[in-house]
């Protein structure tokens, strides 16, 4: 019997025992996690017990800050790309399209920057 077959067999056993499959997967082997009614979470792939840690407010703020900064960088890059295209074209329909895109990007950039506060 392959490792995969034994994992599937173990998952079926956990379900029969009343465990619930969770949407999260094991950080080690990437197998779906299962929770018993007692609250215990186990991985049928590697047999480990898994404990979820709650992020502190500082960690959540730091993670949000990283995402916002990354998103700002992406939006600024797209704005620069559209600006370059706008400088090259004289087609009025293309200009109109690029101006609409720029407007939407700047609106989104403003919302992202406001979410920092």
Could you report the per-residue pLDDT of 81-108, keeping only the tens digit for each? 999 999 999 999 999 999 999 999 999 9
3-state secondary structure (DSSP) of residue 83: helix
**Cα separation of 31 and 73, whole Å?**
34
Task: Read off the tokens for 29.
Answer: 């082997």
Tell me, rounded to whole angstroms, the distance of Cα 46 from its chain centroid. 24
What SS3 string covers 44-84?
CCCCCEECCCCCCHHHHHHHHHHHHHHHHHHHHHHHHHHHH
Mean pLDDT computed over every residue of the chain? 86
Instruction: Tell me if the pTM is above 0.75.
Output: no
Q: Which of 117, 18, 115 is nearest to 72 (CA)?
A: 115
Could you report the per-residue pLDDT of 33-42, keeping only the tens digit for each? 999 999 889 8
Q: Is the pLDDT of residue 59 over 70?
A: no
Could you report the per-residue pLDDT of 7-20, keeping only the tens digit for each? 888 899 999 999 99
Predicted pLDDT at 89? 93
**Cβ-proximal residues to 75 (8 Å cutoff; 6+ apart), any chain:** 105, 108, 109, 112
Q: Is the pLDDT of residue 79 over 80?
A: yes
Predicted pLDDT at 5? 79
**Cα separation of 17 and 33, whole Å?**
14
């Amino acid at each position: 019997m392959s490792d995969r077959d034994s994992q599937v067999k173990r998952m079926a056993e956990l379900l029969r025992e009343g465990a619930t499959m969770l949407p999260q997967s094991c950080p080690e082997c990437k197998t779906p996690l299962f929770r018993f009614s007692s609250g215990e979470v186990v991985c049928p792939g590697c047999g480990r017990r898994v404990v979820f840690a709650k992020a502190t407010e500082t960690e959540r703020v730091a993670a949000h800050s990283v995402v916002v900064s990354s998103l700002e960088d992406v939006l600024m890059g797209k704005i620069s790309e559209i600006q370059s295209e706008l400088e090259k074209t004289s087609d009025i329909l293309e200009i109109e399209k690029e101006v609409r895109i720029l407007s939407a990007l700047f609106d989104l950039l403003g919302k992202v920057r406001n979410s920092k506060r």
